[in-house]
A and B are shown apart, each in its own frame.
Chain A
């Protein structure tokens, strides 16, 4: 049974790979850092996403090649609220629940996305902040979803959690590419997936999302987070004691001066 399954797999698997390697180029992507540790001196990070394009028979074809890299953080459900002026004061009036908003999203491309792929392809691969699929819950008008998505994108862009960098992917000799993406200090922990797309004639000819960057708190920061989350009583008592001590200590020192 197992042998037969293996045989089927062995027959099936090489087919697409072989078809690809015959005519299409291959991507070998990598990243400068696969683990980012959040420690007390963490002020954000810079990631270099780079790689090589391997062409069949080692010859680069004529015509322009474009590369887009997307780094996506873990998704989570969120509520986006919108303030409106009600009876003279600004209050949260309207809101939308999004089931899967990425905590981080950055895209860099060798040329502006609109110039290298058509709208449909861009939408399928979620290329660009305008095309993020956040899965709103409930029946909501497209226009309204648009408005809230724009609000969220604007907010996160100013915080550095969303970024769009057209023209920031450098391609050398049609073979090597690299892009620099920055992560602000407020990036949440989790698995970040880097996707690299090879684009020619408005078509995505190769996509690779095998590069994973793990961001996690370590050492003291991790300890504090665990204490606060799981041992609230102990953590609170410690916070109280330390504030009492510092207050008393300052009084004591200044009385001696």
Chain B
């Protein structure tokens, strides 16, 4: 079953796209991440032009995070106050990201910068997650609990001026910290087509020191708004959102997300985290190979 994608300008196999969306959706349901970090590279690997892949992936992440946000809202797992600050930062970030994207395109280094960002972010975060998950898995095996971290949030966060109270997160910190965090993930959303959940969640836990029970819900809340904004910005600047591609990805991913959420309830959370860490590290490794060993293509064409 082939279908022509009007914006990407080529035909693809629908089944492949739906399965791809489904697999990514399952991961997002299991781990509470948008899954854009997998969709974009996989689409590019399949032959979709990179800009179209990033733009359409952000549309897909919107859909994948909606039901998650509702589920977390029902059990009070969203800190709206914190979420709002993150969203404002995120919206500014997507706008800044759009300008940055244009600059990189004219400079001709967009794909290199995107690859480097992917490698560093995924490598770093995958490594952290793996270490963390491994420690708790082996701690459970040996029966010794992991010593709780002494400090709540990063000393840099404490040094920022002006403090707000974020009740649900259990924090009394400067709003600048989440604003900056939101801004940075907004840029990533625009450049990489990712929701930024895989960066947001650890950053909320380890840098801001938010209570664990609102981290995933608030991160999804922010992802929802930021990917919506990045779809809009892409529609107005790069004009690369392929609605046909996005719809088929969505059909797969919203279904996959529901299955993933059910699967997650049956799996041990530590092993789940270890699995996610492994996937993230594999993607990082694949990107690193493209950068350091052999790129897919030596020559690339840009239309004027």
Contact = CB atoms under 8 A, between A and B. Distances in A.
A250 B67 CA distance: 8
Nearest to A238: B243
A38 to B, nearest CB: 6
Interface in A17-48: 38-44
A246 B254 contact: yes
A217 B6 CA distance: 8
A198 interface: no
A152 B11 contact: no
Contacts of B160: none
Interface stretch (B91-99, B104-112, B128-136, B169-177): B104-112
A221 B4 contact: yes
Given A80-B299, A155-B297, A243-B62, A228 B231 contact: no
A183 to B, nearest CB: 12
A111 B32 CA distance: 61
Nearest to A226: B6
A239 to B, nearest CB: 5
B299 A240 contact: no
A220 B7 CA distance: 12
Interface stretch (B81-89, B146-154, B233-241, B270-278): B233-241
A89 B113 CA distance: 11
Contacts of A250: 67, 254-255, 257-258
B109 A40 contact: no
Interface residues of A, number: 57
A155 B258 contact: no
A236 B62 contact: no
Given A43-B4, A250-B255, A236 B231 contact: yes
Nearest to B234: A236
A244 B6 contact: no
B156 interface: no
A246 B232 contact: no
B117 to A, nearest CB: 13
Contacts of A43: 2, 4, 11
B266 to A, nearest CB: 16
A243 B292 contact: no
Interface in B183-215: none
A121 interface: no
* B interface secondary structure, majority: helix
Interface residues of B, number: 55
Contacts of B67: 247-248, 250-251, 254
Interface in A197-253: 217, 220-222, 224-225, 228-229, 232-233, 235-240, 242-244, 246-251
B254 A249 contact: yes
B62 A76 contact: no
Contacts of A242: 243, 246-247, 250
B269 interface: no
B7 A228 contact: yes
Contacts of A240: 59, 62, 228, 231-232
B6 A246 contact: no
Interface stretch (A6-14, A90-98, A125-133, A173-181): A90-98
Contacts of A82: 298-299
A179 to B, nearest CB: 24
Contact of B302 (A79, A151, A188, A233): A79
A224 B243 contact: yes
Interface string B271-304: 0000000000000000000111011011111111
B66 A251 contact: yes
B16 interface: no
Most buried by A among B4, B64, B234: B4
B180 interface: no
A191 interface: no
Interface of B: 2-4, 6-7, 9-11, 59-60, 62-67, 70-71, 108-109, 111-112, 116, 228, 231-236, 239, 241, 243-244, 246-247, 250-251, 254-255, 257-258, 290-292, 294-295, 297-304
Closest 4 CB pairs of A and B: A236-B235, A247-B66, A251-B67, A151-B299
12 contacts: A41-B4, A80-B300, A92-B111, A152-B301, A155-B299, A184-B10, A236-B234, A236-B235, A239-B235, A242-B246, A246-B250, A254-B67
